[in-house]
Chains A and B, each alone.
Chain A
């Protein structure tokens, strides 16, 4: 589409949306079927290169392609809907009344997806969630979009042409406030992916009558108490290498249940060996720009360690920095993590400050302490407790940031006689 066409479509968006609302003939089962057909079409021979082009290693690309195939499959979609929406609502007589009531899940109507470019093909998965819940979708592509999303949408439309009436894609930059406002005012809800600044911008831009569904940036870590086995720490190292620490559920660093800096230091030395071993078995592309950045960061940390209480341990293509404070920070990413003290007695007070920015904790502790730690960690903003290896692995029906996404894109209609 040319810029002029796109502008003309934006000008007519209200009319187009209204027409789509009126027609509204796309069933959820035809969306599920279209996804299933696409899932079966995807294969390594024709599609692996699309993932490799985004800079993934071959192993990672294979794994991701399998994951995409699974997520698009009919069984997955059906199971997901069942888990997220629960047992079908129906007719009943409410307590204390003698009326008959019928309740049904219905789409919110029109969703504007303001997608971030931080996860490959994220925009299209946001739209598919919108389609699975029967919504009409406006997609504002991220500034650094890799083109995968539009490609997948085009494939879906080839399989099920009706989808075209339910998806409007625009490529306006976020700083084009007028365009974004227009899209938001045509929507019942804005689904925003991104950091605090993106979320705040949408909050300021959208009218109070428009619901805002925020999928913000989060931070995750591992918590280690008592004697962690090498095997358990291998899992944490695996997550660090597998995700390069760029996801909201990637491990940024490890809190150790101690108030002794010496213990933190010896743990850091031990973990470096484990991490180094994992890095060797999961090599990354050697990007000089990335190496340069990490070198400067670690070298600066090293210079600073002359005056602050911290120790920098480096190995080939990875590092572990031991700090003496209990602050939660992002790591330098790309296989560079931190270790900090956080005695259990301080855990709640320290972590509660980060409220909704918390995501996943990998918990490594004695079996007898597990319940107590789970209770404690659940009182913070965290939404998931798992082991190191599974931190960034999902499962069908897994809540997203502590909520079922499909439910957020729907409303419960109540019909009474």
Chain B
């Protein structure tokens, strides 16, 4: 039996008891599978003198050679032929280049079951017909951005009556649909059914800011929810205080703070993390978060800032077993949170890189255009 089945179908996503050994074995299987089916990955393992036997305990998981998201943006690693991939997605690529990922049927199957378990635990699955506001792009044939698929996927967790998109597909591109959103919200507020607003936090902020400026204050059904995920995109200057943000949501839409959920995920690490009531991303049993030193990439002790990396055996189509993101974070002991979930949690501390780099050097794309032969 596939060990992943046992791991990803467990009822409580935060019950680490009895799953430690299972997780370790599943990771070992996953690494072995990729080493066998992806020659490039095998070469990477070899260049680190890595052997599967090195990971004989959870503490040794950091030894699985970690691959940066930047690597996936520039190189395509695959452990299965293209025809076996059931879905493909690309990262939204705020800084230019995009990662291309693909998932096989089995991975997708476990992924969806895991999501159902996970969201049921967080009481996000509902059978009530729901109206949606998608604060992102409308799905279309001309793009494969992962964020679009995620946002659309989330609209499946309560049956959708209607979906209104902030960025409407025009057939060849997208256009802003501010008026449509405003009208839909007013229409939804007159119905007795719950509303879910799904998408990027920056768009949510602009929406509630516009509503407030127009002195619109709605009272949506009390089961309505706000589900936010992804960074602040190109609007990082606008990032605002979390409490103020939720106050504004309550003021303009009548949705209480406990009905606002913030997700963390990445195309290269397609697992869900949702903030608990105390605002912490607890790590579920499907993965382990390892914080790595910003210079050496060696693990740092809990409480220290470093690069956020994950180990998870979910994906067989691509070697995404051990991935380092470009987010800086700190991991804390789960018990210290007090929300009732006991697994460790991480706190994001910003993106790697220079905030608004001051440079007058031509960037790669400017030169590449000139250099194109």
Contact = CB atoms under 8 A, between A and B. Distances in A.
Interface in B40-96: 40, 43-44, 47, 67-68, 70-71, 74-75
B67 A296 contact: no
Given A120-B358, A297-B70, A307-B43, 12 more contacts: A118-B360, A196-B369, A219-B361, A220-B361, A245-B361, A246-B357, A248-B362, A288-B294, A293-B353, A296-B70, A307-B40, A329-B367
Closest 9 CB pairs of A and B: A292-B352, A292-B294, A246-B359, A293-B352, A293-B353, A248-B360, A291-B294, A217-B362, A219-B362
B371 A290 contact: no
Given A246-B361, A353-B371, A289 B354 contact: yes
Contact of A306 (B47, B306, B363): B47
A289 B352 contact: yes
Interface residues of B, number: 42
Contacts of B71: 300, 303-304
Contacts of A377: none
Interface of B: 40, 43-44, 47, 67-68, 70-71, 74-75, 237, 294-297, 305-307, 324, 326, 328, 350-364, 366-367, 369-371, 373
Interface residues of A, number: 46
A341 to B, nearest CB: 16
A68 interface: no
5 contacts: A196-B362, A217-B366, A248-B361, A303-B71, A330-B364
Secondary structure dominating the interface of B? mixed
B326 A293 contact: yes
A203 to B, nearest CB: 15
A292 B307 contact: yes
Nearest to B350: A289
The CB with the most chain A CB atoms within 10 A, among B43, B294, B305, B357, is that of B294
A293 B371 contact: no
Interface in A220-264: 220, 245-248, 250, 252
A290 B366 contact: no
A289 B295 CA distance: 10
B362 A295 contact: no
A28 interface: no
A219 B5 CA distance: 53
A128 to B, nearest CB: 18
Given A291-B295, A292-B307, A293-B326, A306 B353 contact: no
Nearest to A327: B371
Contact of A329 (B70, B297, B360, B364): B364
Contact of A300 (B70, B306, B361): B70
A217 B70 contact: no
A270 B369 CA distance: 32
B73 to A, nearest CB: 9
B362 A293 contact: no
B367 to A, nearest CB: 6
B367 A333 contact: no
Nearest to A352: B370
A246 B355 contact: no
B328 A292 contact: yes
Nearest to A215: B360
Contacts of A117: 356, 358
B67 A357 contact: no
A328 interface: yes
Interface string A153-178: 00000000000000000000000000
